[in-house]
């Protein structure tokens, strides 16, 4: 603090901040890269005054003071410029002389991050790094009674169904009568979840699309990607690649003018339509694209003026009840594509999920149910929603699966699980656990940003500035100066890497369980957990 400064309630010291930037004067070349790259301007070039006491040898004269100045890096303590720990400064430093370190105690910044009466908003996930999925083990290993399979050499069919699967009797009866059978897509069980064109930068979106197209067309893996609420670039809507895309409609209906206009010119049907009623990261809250990110391109695709925040309503304003939402909306969306495209709702993990599911079971059109658990990520939400609202995905998906099994409708309405899958890097293990708990497919979003584009956000509140378009990696920014850091080709390459390695790991899990012919949906006898309460709740084995 300067000598003539005052202390106000929100005056913080560096010690009060969550991240302290350590700078090594000896190695610094003052090149300025760190201050230039810092997305929140947490550091600046500054002048430091230094006093040296000179005492001549033998005290031939009186000791004296020598005052000098030097230049260096100073960390700001203004809450608006608090370091977010992204470590871009370290990434660009030629001499590794700068690095943010996490404070050794809880920061005081959290009490001051609501200036102007605005609660904190951020991107990322719930700030809880651990999860139940990582505790689940696969215990039913084929030993002598039946041979474990060879994950490297065996023939596997890792496919799942997206669409309303009729009971066998009904399906055969309709085939005999040549009646309408709901469309069903056979897809890869790992999907890229909804991240909108707007939440993501054009380069990131393009990279994902290219990766997905490569996986489908070159590697024969029917991977699908959901758009989130924000529409689609017009050329994509009119291209053959649309069949790999799941279009999302949410309460803001952003981008749907463009989609409807493209309908007559579509070469291919989309894979499916996802109706978003909720999102795991901010249950019961609508989508949010803050004004920082609404540039000309995004505004044009969404059909809105540029430079305004786009908060979607918390619920679809045209619907007042579940039967309206489920029946009318799903049926209208079916009608738009001549009943050839599956339509399914996506909801937040919630204790009311069973009520939604039961309603879907009585609707002959509902093609699936996607449940997004509390650990899901988002591009922008209030911190309080992210950290304190929601329902864990594991027990939610399990309850829904067992409910369907009781009704004799297991897998007839495929359950898609999302929300924190692979948040500690164990993607295949988490996905397999969810599948064996009853999910037909699993969605990943934050994971693919981390793995395919180098997102540095973490569940210990690192970075998480997706909402203001300052993403230092250019993943969630609409500023060309930032997103040009991201090469779409390289993103596509990483997407392919992720799916190929996931495929190998999933086989490495399934093969020892003796499974290869079909995805082991609901194979709960293969699961165990070292937590009695969790085992009881999930109806799996308790193993110690």
Q: Judged by CB, which is closer to another protein: 31, or 405?
A: 405
Q: Which residues of 126-162 are buried (b: 16+ CB within 10 A; e: fewer)?
A: beeeebbbeebebebeeeeeeeebebeeeebebebbb
Report 22-61 residues binding another protein (CB under 8 A).
none
Q: Residue 217, interface with another protein (CB under 8 A)? A: no
Handedness of CA 165, 241, 467, 286 (dihedral sign): negative
* Least distance to another protein, CB of residue 518, Å: 4
- Specify which residues 289 forms β-bridges with: 310
Position among 475, 522, 529, 538 found at the interface with another protein (CB under 8 A) = 522
Q: CA-to-CA distance for 460 and 125, rounded, in angstroms? A: 9
Q: Judged by CB, which is closer to another protein: 116, or 168?
A: 168
Q: Residue 157, interface with another protein (CB under 8 A)? A: yes
Stretch of 10-18, 37-45, 279-287, 510-518 lying at the interface with another protein (CB under 8 A): 510-518
Q: Judged by CB, which is closer to another protein: 247, or 511?
A: 511
Q: Residue 342, interface with another protein (CB under 8 A)? A: no
Report 386-405 residues binding another protein (CB under 8 A).
405
* Tokens linked to 172: 């055969």
| Three-state DSSP string of 55-114 | CCHHHCCCCEEEEEEEEEEEECCCHHHCCCCCCHHHHHCCCCCEEEEECCCCCCHHHCCC
Position among 295, 358, 411, 541 found at the interface with another protein (CB under 8 A) = 411
Q: CA-to-CA distance for 506 and 525, rounded, in angstroms? A: 17
Q: Residue 149, interface with another protein (CB under 8 A)? A: yes
Position among 296, 518, 542, 543 found at the interface with another protein (CB under 8 A) = 518
Q: Residue 515, interface with another protein (CB under 8 A)? A: yes
* Least distance to another protein, CB of residue 413, Å: 13
Q: Judged by CB, which is closer to another protein: 288, or 402?
A: 402
User: How many CB atoms lie under 10 A from the CB of residue 120?
Assistant: 17
Q: Judged by CB, which is closer to another protein: 126, or 140?
A: 140
Q: Residue 335, interface with another protein (CB under 8 A)? A: no
Position among 63, 180, 408, 481 found at the interface with another protein (CB under 8 A) = 408
Q: For another protein, what does the binding mask look like between residues 170 and 209, x meaning CB under 8 A?
A: xxx--xx----x--x-x-----------------------
Q: Residue 141, interface with another protein (CB under 8 A)? A: no
User: How many CB atoms lie under 10 A from the CB of residue 17?
Assistant: 26
User: Checking DSSP bridges between strand 272-276 and strand 369-372, what pairing results, if any?
Assistant: unpaired
Q: Residue 295, interface with another protein (CB under 8 A)? A: no
Position among 70, 115, 154, 532 found at the interface with another protein (CB under 8 A) = 154
Asked if 391 contacts 417 with a C-beta cutoff of 8 angstroms, the reply is no
Backbone phi, psi, residue 110, to 5°: -55, -25
Task: For the chain, give percent helix, strand, coil, nearest 5.
Answer: 35, 20, 45
Position among 513, 528, 529, 538 found at the interface with another protein (CB under 8 A) = 513
Q: Residue 113, interface with another protein (CB under 8 A)? A: no
Contacts 24+ apart (CB under 8 A), 90-95: 90/34, 91/37, 92/33, 92/34, 92/36, 92/37, 93/33, 93/34, 94/29, 94/31, 94/33, 95/24, 95/27, 95/28, 95/29
* Least distance to another protein, CB of residue 410, Å: 6
* Least distance to another protein, CB of residue 368, Å: 13
Q: Residue 366, interface with another protein (CB under 8 A)? A: no
Question: Which segments of 183-244 are extended strands (E)?
Answer: 184-187, 190-192, 225-226
Q: Residue 159, interface with another protein (CB under 8 A)? A: yes
Q: Which residues bind another protein (CB under 8 A)?
A: 140, 142, 145-147, 149, 154-155, 157, 159, 161, 165-172, 175-176, 181, 184, 186, 405-411, 513-518, 520-525
């Amino acid at each position: 603090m300067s000598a003539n400064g005052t202390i106000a309630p929100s005056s913080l010291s560096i010690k009060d901040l969550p991240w302290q930037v350590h700078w090594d004067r000896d190695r610094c070349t003052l090149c300025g890269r760190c201050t230039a790259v810092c997305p929140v301007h947490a550091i600046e070039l500054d002048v430091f005054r230094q006093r040296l006491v000179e005492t001549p040898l033998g005290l031939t004269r009186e000791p004296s003071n020598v005052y000098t100045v030097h230049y260096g890096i100073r960390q700001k303590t203004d809450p608006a410029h608090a370091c977010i720990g992204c470590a871009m400064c370290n990434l660009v430093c030629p001499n590794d002389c700068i690095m943010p370190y996490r404070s050794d105690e809880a920061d005081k910044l959290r009490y001051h991050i609501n200036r102007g009466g605005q609660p904190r908003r951020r991107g990322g996930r719930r700030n809880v790094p651990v999860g139940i999925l990582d505790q689940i083990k696969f215990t039913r290993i084929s030993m002598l009674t039946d041979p474990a399979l060879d994950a490297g050499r065996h023939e596997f069919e890792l496919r799942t169904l997206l669409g309303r699967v009729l009971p066998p009797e009904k399906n055969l009866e309709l085939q005999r009568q040549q009646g309408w059978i709901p469309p069903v897509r056979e897809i890869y069980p790992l999907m890229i979840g909804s991240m909108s064109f707007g939440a993501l930068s054009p380069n990131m979106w393009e990279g994902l699309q290219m990766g997905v197209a490569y996986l489908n067309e070159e590697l024969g893996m029917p991977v699908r990607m959901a758009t989130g609420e924000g529409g689609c670039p017009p050329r994509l809507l009119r291209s053959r690649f649309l069949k790999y895309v799941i279009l999302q409609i949410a309460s803001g209906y952003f981008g749907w003018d463009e989609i409807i206009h493209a309908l007559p010119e579509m070469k291919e049907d989309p894979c499916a339509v996802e109706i978003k009623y909720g999102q795991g990261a901010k249950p019961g809250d609508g989508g949010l694209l803050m004004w920082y990110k609404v540039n000309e391109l995004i505004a044009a695709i969404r059909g809105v003026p540029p430079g305004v925040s786009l908060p979607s309503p918390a619920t679809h304003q045209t619907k007042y009840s579940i039967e309206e939402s489920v029946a009318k909306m799903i049926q209208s969306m079916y009608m738009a594509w001549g009943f050839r495209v599956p339509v399914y709702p996506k909801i937040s993990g919630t204790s009311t999920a069973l009520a939604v599911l039961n309603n879907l079971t009585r609707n002959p059109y509902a093609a699936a149910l996607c449940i997004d658990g509390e650990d899901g990520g988002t591009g922008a939400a209030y911190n309080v929603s992210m950290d304190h609202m929601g329902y864990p995905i594991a027990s939610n998906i399990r309850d829904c699966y067992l409910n369907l099994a009781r009704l004799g409708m297991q897998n007839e309405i495929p359950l898609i699980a999302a929300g924190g899958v692979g948040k500690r890097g164990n993607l295949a293990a988490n996905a397999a656990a969810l599948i064996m708990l009853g999910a037909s497919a699993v969605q990943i979003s934050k994971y693919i940003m981390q793995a395919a584009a180098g997102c540095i956000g973490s569940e210990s509140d690192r970075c998480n500035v997706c909402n203001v378009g300052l993403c230092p990696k250019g993943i969630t920014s609409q500023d060309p100066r930032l997103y040009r850091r991201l090469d779409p080709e390289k993103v596509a390459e990483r997407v392919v890497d992720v799916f190929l390695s996931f495929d190998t790991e999933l086989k490495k899990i399934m093969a020892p369980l003796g499974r290869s012919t079909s995805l082991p949906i609901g194979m709960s006898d293969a699961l165990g957990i070292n937590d009695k309460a969790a085992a009881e709740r999930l109806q799996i084995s308790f193993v110690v």
